[in-house]
Amino acid sequence: MNTHVHWIPTRSRTEAAEDATELFRNTYNTNPAGCWVAPGRVNLIGEHVDYAQGISLPFALSQVTAVAAAPREDTLVRITSISGDNTLQTEVDLKDVGPKNPANWSGYIVGTIWALAEAGVVPLRGYDMALVSDVPLGAGLSSSAALECCVAVAACDLQEATAEKDILAKACMRAENEVVGASTGGLDQQISLKGEDGHALAIDFRDNSSYQVPFDMEGHGLAILVVDTNAPHELADGQYASRRAVIDGVSEKFGPLRDQENLNPDQWADENPDPSGTLDAEAWRKKVRARVAHVQSEIARTANAIEELKRGDMQAFGNSMCASHASLRDDYEVSCPELNMVVDTAMAQGALGARMTGGGFGGSAIALVKKADIEKIAQAIADAFAEANFRDPRVAVAIPAAGAQRVEV
């Protein structure tokens, strides 16, 4: 079998900015005041721990969302966006923005501006905006954070406002958590704003500190292959929330999980029975233990993986990736057959490591592969999906890139 491999298209940042600028001109019959881009992200390791004071290691993708924008004198935000073959248009008055409103795609945009105004960073003022994106929607590569972060840096530049990147990240999180209603922990926004070429970003969510970690794949003859499974992916549903509720509850009772060496969460499980009502007491205890075990092991595993990367031990790092996937699959139960197939196929074809990335329940998986094996492994994954009658996957070679920035056109 030789199934066609679908590669994710990638424009340069300048090309994306040019396309956004052209869309702006065609929509509003004038030139924008500028254009800004922000990247999606891949999380190398440290999954589902950002909301548990854990450690994560993402890097920013070369795929970006670009916004061409100009300020208005009123509080109206007019938006035009190209998504696939569709052009979406809407307008929202910032005076109407608040918790759960608008709880749709425009909420990521206007919610970010609203949150920046609430924080006193920018005035409550409207914009005309045109957006294009190469970050695949629903792929677990954080298209939402790319959207929020390019809007955040655009609004600040247009209002000649200065704010630390952590302040911008918090505003973007408010847009996602409060306005749209997606419960995410801040990893995506930080890396979209702080990414650097050739580096991953180690983020410690205990104190919100971060530092750059060199990620020299070229020097090792390696690459990160990203595979968008095209399986359904939705973070704003009960699956993500139910797992976070367990971790939040156990942490509130016993303290941060990374500090608890001999924690037995049965007491919390007994005090807080299965909310779905489908599990008996012992089955629920087992489930809660597994959820906690993933978070504790993933935090320790990520700390070790960062050291492996620093000393250039790529095989050890690959082993850590595989252990992370196994934990996400078996203990946290956020994987799916498509994600598992990517990991299993890549490893069978000689990858050093592979794992699902992002929230799970669909989305993307990544594999650490030899550059010479990129085509072979991508083909094997496409063939495996075809044989299983899964949707066609899309693949890309991920390159650690810079964070959100203005692009001159």
For the stretch 292-339, pLDDT in tens is 999 999 999 999 999 999 999 999 999 999 999 999 999 999 999 999
* Residue 164 in tokens: 């630390």
Please give the distance of CA 32 from its chain centroid, rounded to a whole number: 28
Which stretches of the chain drop beneath a pLDDT of 70? 1, 84, 232-237
Contact 317, 305 (CB under 8 A): yes
Instruction: For domain 6-214+401-406, give the fold.
Output: Ribosomal Protein S5; domain 2 (3.30.230)
**Confidence (pLDDT) at 236:** 42
Torsion of CA 26, 32, 36, 40, to 10 degrees: -30
* Residue 192 in tokens: 């979209």
Q: Kindly tell me the burial class for residue 64, based on how many C-beta atoms sit within 10 Å of its own C-beta (0-12, 13-18, 19 or more).
A: buried
* Residue 40 in tokens: 């999606």
Classify each residue of 309-339 as buried b or exposed e, where b means 16 or more C-beta atoms within 10 Å of its C-beta. Answer: beeeebebbbbbbbbbbbbbbebbbbbbebb
Amino acid of residue 89: Q
- Catalytic residue at 188? yes
Contact 140, 360 (CB under 8 A): yes
Q: In terms of pTM, does the model score above 0.85?
A: yes
Per-domain residue ranges for the chain? 6-214+401-406, 217-398
Q: Where are the beta strands (DSSP E) in 152-306?
A: 199-204, 209-214, 222-228
**Confidence (pLDDT) at 233:** 59
Catalytic residue, candidates 134, 188, 204, 331: 188
Lookup result for tokens 């920035």: 405
Going 252 to 191 to 214 to 377, the CA torsion angle's sign is: positive
Q: Beta-carbon neighbour count of residue 283 at 10 Å? A: 12
CATH architecture of 217-398: 2-Layer Sandwich (3.30)
CA diameter of the chain: 65
- Measured N-to-C along each axis, helices 165-174 and 105-118 cross at an angle, to the nearest 10 degrees, of 130
Strand 76-83 versus strand 127-133 pairing type:
parallel
Lookup result for tokens 């595993």: 301
Amino acid of residue 358: G
**Confidence (pLDDT) at 391:** 94
- For residue 116, the SS3 value is helix
- Measured N-to-C along each axis, helices 165-174 and 143-158 cross at an angle, to the nearest 10 degrees, of 120
**Confidence (pLDDT) at 302:** 98
**Confidence (pLDDT) at 275:** 93
